[in-house]
């Protein structure tokens, strides 16, 4: 027992040290919860599990292929076979301790891919899989030079979450399983390679790069990017990687990164990963951000010049605790990753930018949540509105949305408001420390929560209803942003025909503009030309503003796309250039619902080659 507590403590504060100390020992991770069966992985960890990976890959841009070997060290005391997840990989050979073995690839499931089964002996230690990827590997996006900022060199990046790591390496692809890794990556001379690991800050002379991630991570946090990339430090532990023409702008935009990191540590304990850098990707990146350890991947659409979208960095940074330290055990527990992270993100933003700003962010999340619940209810899909998801048999990428994020956030906010912030903060700090480097499922979280805070303190909250119930619980907190109240009153005046004096909105942030536009009703659509005339939304360079503007116009006044040349051009070039799913979906959906499906399909035909597989899948389903 004593040893157990000590180990927890050491694990939280000096994991790398612990690891070195234990590397000859049989201990792997301080996994305290039993493995929860994961419906999205073929891995059979109760039989055999892996401990460490050495990845050797050559990045071939001409053939759009990764080629090489994944060398897995087995955890001791394994069974007589190992099952790995794969999806469309070419498996050339499998060697166990240097000797070829007969392996088998099971039948392919459209979502899960194929299990790779191989025999083990009791003494087996190492499994080498010689393999290559196929051009359609869904995690990988291969960009032509024309799709980059510099236009001179190609670019490659991966997106492994949720279950796409298996499309670029054979692995036990479950968030409940962790391993450490090293990698040797060969890229064309002159290009930079980066991973979710210790990273170079300069290009190598021969295109060879070595990486190490000595802290165990789940497969969905495996990441690789290759391109014409430079580095610049922002603070002692923080820095930015970007294409050369994007680097200065990005460094300016993220200047407060170090302050965010300090604010995060002050809230919930020491940052466990060493460095925190951000890689700014080309615009086809399908997400806003991805919390790859030590190296967040980010969309360039947050580089607005006014630092108004840096909450995305706060979000990905927060995942260094919620998600990367304490990891959802299965994708049904995804809200544990994202709801906690939205809450933590908001706390970082409050600490660095003040409560008024943070409350605007909460207000936008509230609106997203209410809209999503209304949509799902209207579609008869109320079951999808509960925090604990039920994703078996479906693609976990389809579960990414305001329920896990914003309903999750509001649930934690309710607990914060009910038990008091000091108590809740102390709880969270201990929760992250004690459960560091392990996986968490919803039921266990509820147990820990009630054990720590006491059933009495939580008596006013119907935990079961919040987690398993559907719709919006009656006691859901409602953010109240004074800045948004101002925006509401100016919008009303505008609708009533009053003009809006420039000095009133000169200092509005992206959030105020987004809120302003979203507040116009269908009946106000006649004001669209006047709005554009005064505020020039159609020529905005800000993707958040453009996407709500496009959605509003295309839903309620689709003819405007033909009438106003600037709008029409801007809509098309936005959809062709930007591949962030969060912007694409509402825009295409509004076009579909507003009667412009033909135009949507026409633009999509042109845009689709620029999109990542994840974005294609969602838009394909929408537009058939
Ligand atoms: N981890 C997510 C992105 C993700 C989730 C990718 C599930 C694949 C499957 C990331 O942290 C995230 O939440 N990104 C948001 C950022 C936003 C909430 C600030 C995004 O991409 O929009
Ligand atoms: Zn997130």
DSSP labels for 299-368? -GGG--SS-TTTHHHHHHHHTTTBTTTEEESSGGGHHHHHHHHHHHHHHHHHHHH-HHHHHHHHHHHHHH
Give catalytic residue positions: 316, 405
Q: Which of 179, 172, 149 minimizes the C-alpha distance to 51? A: 179
Residues 80, 121: Cα–Cα separation, whole Å: 6
Residue 288 CB less than 6 A away from ligand 1: yes
Query: What single-letter DSSP state applies at residue 107?
Result: P
Is the per-residue pLDDT at 232 higher than 90? yes
The pLDDT of residue 32 is above 90: no
pLDDT of residue 373: 98
Instruction: Give span(s): CATH 1.25.40.320, the chain.
Output: 491-623
Ligand 1 contact, 582 CB (< 6 A) = yes
Q: Give the residue whose CA is nearest to atom 3 of ligand 1.
A: 290
**pLDDT(14) > 70:** no
| Host H or E run for residue 422 | helix 421-434
| Residues 569, 571: Cα–Cα separation, whole Å | 5
158 lines ligand 1 (CB under 6 A): no
Q: Which of 218, 223, 278, 289 to mutate to test the pocket of ligand 1 (most atoms within 8 A of CB)?
A: 289
> 568-589 in b/e burial notation, b at 16+ Cβ within 10 A?
eebbbebbbebbbbbbbbbbbb
Closest ligand relative to 158 C-alpha: 1
pLDDT confidence tier of residue 34, bands split at 50, 70 and 90: low
CATH class of residue range 321-468: mainly alpha
pLDDT computed for residue 36 by the predictor: 79
161 C-beta closer than 6 A to ligand 1: yes
Residue nearest to atom 19 of ligand 1 (CA): 312
For ligand 1, mutation pick of 196, 222, 287 (most atoms within 8 Å of CB): 287
What is the average pLDDT value for the chain, to the nearest integer?
A: 94
Say which ligand is closest to the CA of 339. 2
Q: List helix spans (H) across 454-578.
A: 463-468, 482-495, 502-505, 510-518, 528-535, 543-556, 560-563, 565-577
177 — pLDDT class (breaks 50, 70, 90): very high
What spatial distance separates the first Cα and last Cα of the chain, rounded to whole Å? 57
Q: What's the pTM value of the predicted model, to 2 decimals? A: 0.94
Tell me which residue has its CA closest to atom 1 in ligand 1. Answer: 290
Given a contact cutoff of 8 angstroms between Cβ atoms, the answer to whether 246 and 149 are in contact is: yes
Residue 42: band (very low, low, confident or very high) from pLDDT cuts 50, 70, 90: very high
pLDDT confidence bin for 25, thresholds 50/70/90: very low
The mean pLDDT of 335-362, rounded to a whole number, is 98
Which amino acid residue places its CA nearest to atom 22 of ligand 1? 288
Instruction: Quote the CA–CA distance of 174 and 172 in Å, as a whole number.
Output: 6
Tokens 């020491």 locate to 270
CA distance 605 to 360: 36
- On the question of pLDDT at 35 being above 80, the answer is no
pLDDT of residue 399: 86
Contacts for 490 with CB less than 8 Å, ≥ 6 apart: 500, 504, 505, 516
**Alpha carbon distance 54, 130 (integer Å):** 12
Q: Is the peptide bond before 368 cis (omega within 30 degrees of 0)?
A: no
Q: Which tens digit of pLDDT belongs to each residue from 206-215? A: 999 999 999 9
Which atom of ligand 1 lies closest to the CA of 311?
Answer: 19
Beta-carbon neighbour count of residue 395 at 10 Å? 17
**Range name among 1-15, 259-273, 517-531, 543-557 with the lowest pLDDT average:** 1-15
| Whole-number pLDDT of residue 15 | 38
**424-483: per-residue pLDDT in tens?**
999 999 999 999 999 999 999 999 999 999 999 999 999 999 999 999 999 999 999 999
Percentage of the chain exceeding pLDDT 90: 93
Stretch 128-152: mean pLDDT: 97
Looking at the chain, the domain(s) classified CATH 1.10.390.10 span 321-468
Q: Token pair 């949305």 is at which residue?
A: 401
Q: What gap in Å lies between CA 468 and CA 387, rounded to an integer?
A: 6
Identify the pLDDT of residue 22. Answer: 33
Whether residue 17 has pLDDT greater than 90: no
Residue 397 alpha carbon, nearest atom of ligand 1: 9
- CATH code that applies to domain 491-623: 1.25.40.320
pLDDT above 70 covers what percent of the chain?
95
291 lines ligand 1 (CB under 6 A): yes
**Rounded distance, CA 138 to CA 382, Å?**
30
Ligand number with the minimum distance to the CA of 287 = 1
Distance in Å, CA 290 to ligand 2 centroid: 7
Whether 319 is in the pocket of ligand 1, judged by its Cβ within 6 Å, is yes
Mean pLDDT to the nearest integer, 395-417 = 97
Structure tokens at 284: 């086809």
Using CB atoms within 10 A of its CB, is residue 288 exposed (0-12), middle (13-18) or buried (19+)? buried
Residues ≥6 apart with Cβ < 8 Å to 121: 80, 96
Distance separating alpha carbons of residues 521 and 362, to the nearest angstrom: 21
Q: Find, among 341, 292, 342, the residue nearest to 321 by Cα.
A: 341
Q: CATH assignment of 1-30+231-320, given 1.10.150.80, 3.30.2010.30, 3.30.70.270, 3.90.230.10?
A: 3.30.2010.30
Question: Which residue minimizes the CA distance to atom 15 of ligand 1?
Answer: 288
Residue 29 above 60 pLDDT?
no
Each residue of 50-103: pLDDT tens digit? Answer: 999 999 999 999 999 999 999 999 999 999 999 999 999 999 999 999 999 999
Confidence band (pLDDT; 50, 70, 90) for 18? Answer: very low
Give the nearest ligand 1 atom to 312 CA. Answer: 19
């Amino acid at each position: 027992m004593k040893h157990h507590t000590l180990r927890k403590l050491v694990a939280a504060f000096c994991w790398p040290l612990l690891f070195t100390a234990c590397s000859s020992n049989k201990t792997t991770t301080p996994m305290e919860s039993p493995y929860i069966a994961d419906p999205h992985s073929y891995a059979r960890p109760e039989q055999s599990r892996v401990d460490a990976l050495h990845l050797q890959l050559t990045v071939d841009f001409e053939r759009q292929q990764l080629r090489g070997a994944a060398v897995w060290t087995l955890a001791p005391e394994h069974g007589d076979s190992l099952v790995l997840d794969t999806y469309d990989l070419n498996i050339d050979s499998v060697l166990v301790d240097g000797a070829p073995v007969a392996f088998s690839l099971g039948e392919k499931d459209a979502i899960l891919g194929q299990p790779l089964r191989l025999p083990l002996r009791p003494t087996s230690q190492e499994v080498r899989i010689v393999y290559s990827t196929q051009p359609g590997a869904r995690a990988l996006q291969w960009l032509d030079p024309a799709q980059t900022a510099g236009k001179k060199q190609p670019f490659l990046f991966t997106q492994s979450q949720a279950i796409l790591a298996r499309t670029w390496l054979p692995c036990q692809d479950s968030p409940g399983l962790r391993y450490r890794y090293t990698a040797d990556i060969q890229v064309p001379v002159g290009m930079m390679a980066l991973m979710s690991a210790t990273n170079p800050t300069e290009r190598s002379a021969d295109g060879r790069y070595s990486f190490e991630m000595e802290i165990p991570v789940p497969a969905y946090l495996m990441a690789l990017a290759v391109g014409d990339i430079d580095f610049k430090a922002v603070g002692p532990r923080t820095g930015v990687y970007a294409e050369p023409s994007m680097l200065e702008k990005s460094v300016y935009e993220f200047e407060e990164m170090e302050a965010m990191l300090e604010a995060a540590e002050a809230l919930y304990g020491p940052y466990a990963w060493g460095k925190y850098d951000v890689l700014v990707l080309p615009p086809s990146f399908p997400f806003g951000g991805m919390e790859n350890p030590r190296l967040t991947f980010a969309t360039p659409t947050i580089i607005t010049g006014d630092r108004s979208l840096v909450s995305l960095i706060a979000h990905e940074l927060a995942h260094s605790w919620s998600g990367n330290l304490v990891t959802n055990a299965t994708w049904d527990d995804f809200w544990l990753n994202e709801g906690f992270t939205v809450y933590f993100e908001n706390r970082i933003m409050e600490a660095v930018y003040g409560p008024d700003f943070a409350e605007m962010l909460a207000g936008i999340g509230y609106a997203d949540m209410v809209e999503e619940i209304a949509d799902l209810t209207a579609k008869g899909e109320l079951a999808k509105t509960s925090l604990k998801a039920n994703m078996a048999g479906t693609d976990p990428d389809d579960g990414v949305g305001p329920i896990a994020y914003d309903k999750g956030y509001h649930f934690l906010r309710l607990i914060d408001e009910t038990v008091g912030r000091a108590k809740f903060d102390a709880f969270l700090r201990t929760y992250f420390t004690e459960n560091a480097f392990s996986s968490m499922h919803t039921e266990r979280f509820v147990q820990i929560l009630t054990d720590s805070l006491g059933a009495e303190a939580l008596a006013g909250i119907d935990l079961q209803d919040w987690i398993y119930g559907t719709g919006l619980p009656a006691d859901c907190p409602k953010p109240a942003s004074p800045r948004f109240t101002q925006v509401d009153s100016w919008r009303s005046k505008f609708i009533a025909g009053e003009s809006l004096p420039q000095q009133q909105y000169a200092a509005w942030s992206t959030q105020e503009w987004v809120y302003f536009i979203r507040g116009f009703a269908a009946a106000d659509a006649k004001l669209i030309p006047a709005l554009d005339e005064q505020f020039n939304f159609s020529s905005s360079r800000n993707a958040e503003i453009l996407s709500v503007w496009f959605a509003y116009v295309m839903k309620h006044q689709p003819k405007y796309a033909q009438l106003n040349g600037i709008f029409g051009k801007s809509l098309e070039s936005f959809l062709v250039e930007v591949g962030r799913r969060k912007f694409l979906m509402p825009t295409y959906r509004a076009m579909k619902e507003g009667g412009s499906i033909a135009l949507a399909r026409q633009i999509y035909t042109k845009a689709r080659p620029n999109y990542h597989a994840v974005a294609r899948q969602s838009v394909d389903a929408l537009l058939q």
